[in-house]
Amino acid sequence: MNNTAPDRYTGRFAPSPSGPLHFGSLIAALGSYLQARSQSGQWLVRIEDLDPPREVPGAADDILRTLDAFGLHWDGELVYQSRRHDRYQEILDSWAADELTYHCHCTRKQITAAGGLYSGHCRELNLPAHNAAVRLKMTAPVYGFRDRLQGTVKVAAALAEEDFIVRRRDGFYAYNLAVVIDDMDAGITEVVRGADLLEPTARQIALYRLLKAHEPGWLHLPLAMFQGHKLSKQNHAPALDKKTPGNALWQALSFLGQQPPSQLFGAGAEELLSWAVPNWHLNKVPPGPQIALNYADSSHFQRPALS
């Protein structure tokens, strides 16, 4: 694997097609876009369609139309994880040949009953592959890392040392495996995403090191919270309005601490982004992992008082 640092900034946005983009999604998309464009870097888009049972028909195309309506135009070809299964299996086969993985028949119910973390029960049993998950032997755990916004992040030893799943018992590849291979192959230099993904980062760093690949930087943006819950598809966050992108973009810039001029509220997406790229300052982004909102969806965005 290539452990040489790329000479050009490359970032990405990687939504899952489990529903439309909402304001919380926009925070991650916009933050990663501005971090890349402010450094004259590339911004890639990858559709993380690893889990067909959770996918909503038409969601991937709707996500792409929304990005386009919001002026968030990506570089290069779109990547779909569903088309990269051979690549993931190639890595798993190499690890199996080196005896770095094993088959596990433990159910989620059994693991929960035992305390919630996997004990390594199946590690030395040499169980058959049928109806089994594949776990990675965690021989070099990562107990913490440095995040550009959240600072030093520490991980509990029991979690860091757990042999985690890299392919599920239903045959689908695990998120941690796929995202690392995809980012490695794309030459991603910095991962910018929501703070809800802080916890799996240590595992992903362990995979980079196992693969002897260059590790990207990490930047986890604050999550948009409403009435004590993260804005998410699971919590039925309303879809972004493609007809009025300027309202949500202005609010997203404000959420990220960038203080856009009040005169730009409701302006076109391209005009807002033309202001945002040269005025993007990471040191203005609130460092906490969560920020409470006073509105539930973009239809409630109010025009700010003119200063």
Whether the Cβ atoms of residue 277 and residue 72 lie closer than 8 Å to each other: no
Q: How many helices (H) and strands (E) does the chain have?
A: 9, 13
Looking at residues 41-61, what average pLDDT do you find? 95
Topology of domain 10-83+182-300 in CATH is Rossmann fold (3.40.50)
Residues of the chain with CATH 3.40.50.620: 10-83+182-300, 85-145+155-176
Q: Which phi and psi (to 5°) does residue 201 adopt?
A: -60, -40
| pLDDT at 56 exceeding the cut of 90 | yes
| pLDDT at 105 exceeding the cut of 90 | yes
Binding site per annotation, positions for ATP: 233
Domain range 85-145+155-176, its CATH number among 1.10.3210.10, 3.40.50.620, 1.10.3720.10, 3.10.20.600 = 3.40.50.620
Whether the Cβ atoms of residue 67 and residue 45 lie closer than 8 Å to each other: yes
What does 66-135 look like in DSSP terms, one character per residue?
Answer: HHHHTT-PPPS--EEGGG-HHHHHHHHHHHHHTT-EEEE---HHHHHHTTSS---TTTTT---STT-EEE
pLDDT at 20: 92
Binding site per annotation, positions: 12-16, 48, 104, 106, 118, 122, 175, 193, 233
pLDDT at 182: 98
d(CA 99, CA 166) in angstroms, rounded, equals 14
Banded pLDDT at 297 (limits 50, 70, 90): very low
- H/E element holding 145? strand 144-147
pLDDT tens sequence across 237-293: 688 999 999 999 999 999 999 999 999 998 999 999 999 999 999 999 998 766 655
pLDDT at 230: 60
Binding site per annotation, positions for L-glutamate: 12-16, 48, 175, 193
Q: Which phi and psi (to 5°) does residue 168 adopt?
A: -75, 165
Q: Which of 257, 256, 251 lies closest to 303, judged by CA?
A: 251
Q: Count of CB atoms within 10 A of residue 200's CB?
A: 17
| pLDDT at 227 exceeding the cut of 80 | no
Binding site per annotation, positions for Zn(2+): 104, 106, 118, 122
